[in-house]
Structures are given as structure tokens and as C-alpha cells.
A and B are shown apart, each in its own frame.
Chain A
């Protein structure tokens, strides 16, 4: 079965009539993106899979609450973020895992250079640690904007924050990462 976003509005309208087949189509269209998002918080693939199932089920149970003011995928991401946060709070040790690349490293600097590859691996491990050390609200804003490529407005809706706050938190998150990584291997 191919995952195609298609006409979410149509499926949402039918899902609101209790049509589980319609909601199944929505789930199929968004499940992989949701899973990849949750994996950024929860490094265990098994846990991420379970949380993805739970996020989709919560979306079905709460579909009345979706008013169409945002994309359906953004709304689901908000549910997933909440579940991932709760999971991380219960098991904080899981939010950071040493980076293990395939030799490419950050920006491909390490191609053919084992020392550089090691430095890149260390740099990305440091970045992972620094990211995990950010306040949760800053980290969430940064990941949603920088990785999930949601607009500031979508992040503001998802997190219930003013747009200005989102912009400020993303900027401050990036500054904190700069400060944490100063003197390390990331900046050549």
C-alpha cells in the first residue's frame, strides 16, 4: 500500500462519522512521517513504533477536536510530541544515544579521512548531548522547525505559543548549541 497524503479533508470528514476505513487511510498517509518524528525523541525503534500506534489511536479518539485550522499532519504531530515528551520524562536516559554514522559524517567532511570521520562522529555525539541538554520547549521548537520543517505558525498552533515566542525559542536554542559546541570538532 502506498502512502499518499491525498485529500486529508475528505478522509477527516468521513472519519468524523465514525468511519474507521476512512481514518485508516489517514493513518496510512501519515504513519511513516510520524514514526520518523517520534524516533528523534525516542531512540528505541520498538518504543517509537508503539508510540506511533498510540498517537494514531489518540487521533481517532480525539478527531472531534480537529477543527481544520491546521494541516491534519501538524495536528497529529502535536499529539505525537506530547506522547514522546511523556515517554522521555519517564525514561530520560533514552533521549541520547551516541551517534553512529556510516562513515559519511556531518556534511561529508570525513570522506576518505578516518581521523576526520572520528572527529565528525565525536562532533555529532557532542551535538546530540547538547541537544538533549536544551530546555524541552526550546528543543521541541528547534526540532519542529528545523527538522520537521513546520512553519513558525504551525509550531505556534501545535504548542499553543505566540509566533514570536517560537522564533525566539528557536533562535535561543541555536545559540545555546553554539555555546555548548564552542571549541569542539563541529566548527572547522
Chain B
């Protein structure tokens, strides 16, 4: 069954790709043009189609297989037994939850200053089932502030506008921070 010509080798690849509907119109015409005058490749075309059908028949039984009704319940039991994330990880997860939750974000934007923000952030986190402390949040924000690259001009602008506290900036930090 070896292909003796490059054209046959190319056609065998086209025949395979054709079964997977991966051919352009030009390639399809090229394939049929070769098959029309090549007995070996015409035979290969038929055999590949038979194999394709047989594979589907072979695995037909698996395609009808069903999981029992208890599978999902058993899985959820195992899922809920997974080790609880650390408080640092929970802080990260809550940050992501806030990023996707308009209600939480609006509540946090009402905070008047950073202290109120941190207090509210911890309360909302605990209410949502996450465990982390105010010290962890404050420490994270303090570290981020220390690494902040605001220029002197930008700092002056912030002070002049009377907006020393920027809740959106804090939310962005908390949403993107990752534990070390």
C-alpha cells in the first residue's frame, strides 16, 4: 500500500483532511482530480471512509454510556472536601468576586476614606463566606501604596483635587493582586 509518488502522498493527506472537513474548495478539486486517474488512491478513499465509519461503530457503545444519577452528588461531596484556601488566597478570591459584582463595587465606592473602605471590605468578605482580616487588607494596600509609581506631579494633582482616597484604585489593586 505504499504510495509511489509525491502526488499520491499528498492525496492521502488530503483524503484524511477531507474526512475532517478541512479542505478548501481548491484542495477538494485537486483531490478528486488525482483520485479520478489513480486506482490506488481511489481504493484508499474508500478504505479510509470504511475505517472512519468502523471507528464510530466501535465507539458507538461508549457514546451511549450514561453516568448514574448519583455521580454529580458524589462529585460535589468530593469538591466540598477540597482543602480550604489560605486566608491570603481567600483575600485574592474575594477581590475577583468584587471585580465581577456590581453591587459589591458600588457599596465599596461609598466608603469615605481608606479606613472605612477596609472595614467595609472585610465585612462584605465575611458576609460572602471569605475569611481574611482587616490587617491583611491594610497590609496589602500599604505595600501596594509603597510600590506605587505616582509621580510628584500626579500626587500634587490628587492632593489639589481633594481626593486623597481613591476607592477604584484600591478595588483594582485587590482584584489583581496575587499571593506570593
Which residues from chain A sit less than 8 Å from chain B, CB to CB?
A: 1, 13-14, 16-20, 23-24, 27-28, 31-32, 35-36, 39-40, 45, 48-49, 52-53, 56-57, 60-61, 99, 101, 104-107, 123-124, 127-128, 131, 142, 145-147, 152, 167-168, 170-171, 174-175, 177-179, 181-182, 186-188
Contacts and interface: CB of A to CB of B under 8 A. Distances in A.
A131 B58 CA distance: 10
A60 B82 CA distance: 9
Contact of B93 (A17, A27, A31, A188): A17
A63 to B, nearest CB: 11
Nearest to B22: A152
B94 interface: yes
A35 B67 contact: yes
User: Binding site of B, secondary structure by majority: helix, strand, loop or mixed?
Assistant: helix
A49 B59 contact: no
A17 B65 contact: no
B55 A20 contact: no
B50 interface: yes
B160 interface: no
Contacts of B48: 174, 178
Q: Which of B54, B56, B59, B89 has the most CB of A within 10 A?
A: B54
Interface of B: 1, 12-13, 15-17, 19-20, 22, 44, 46-48, 50-59, 62-63, 65-67, 71-72, 74-76, 78-80, 82, 85, 89-90, 93-94, 96-97, 100, 130
Contacts of B15: 171
B51 A53 contact: no
Given A24-B76, A124-B58, A61 B12 contact: no
Nearest to A126: B54
B76 A39 contact: no
A32 B66 contact: yes
B54 A178 contact: no
A16 B89 CA distance: 11
A152 B20 contact: yes
- Pairs A-B, 6 closest by C-beta atoms: A171-B16, A18-B93, A39-B62, A17-B97, A106-B57, A106-B54
Contact of B82 (A57, A177, A188): A57
B78 A53 contact: yes
A175 B12 contact: yes
B1 A53 contact: no
Nearest to A146: B55
B20 A14 contact: no
Contacts of B57: 101, 104-107, 124
Contacts of B82: 20, 57, 60-61
B48 to A, nearest CB: 6
Nearest to A127: B54
Given A13-B100, A24-B79, 8 more contacts: A104-B57, A124-B54, A124-B57, A146-B52, A171-B16, A174-B51, A181-B47, A186-B51
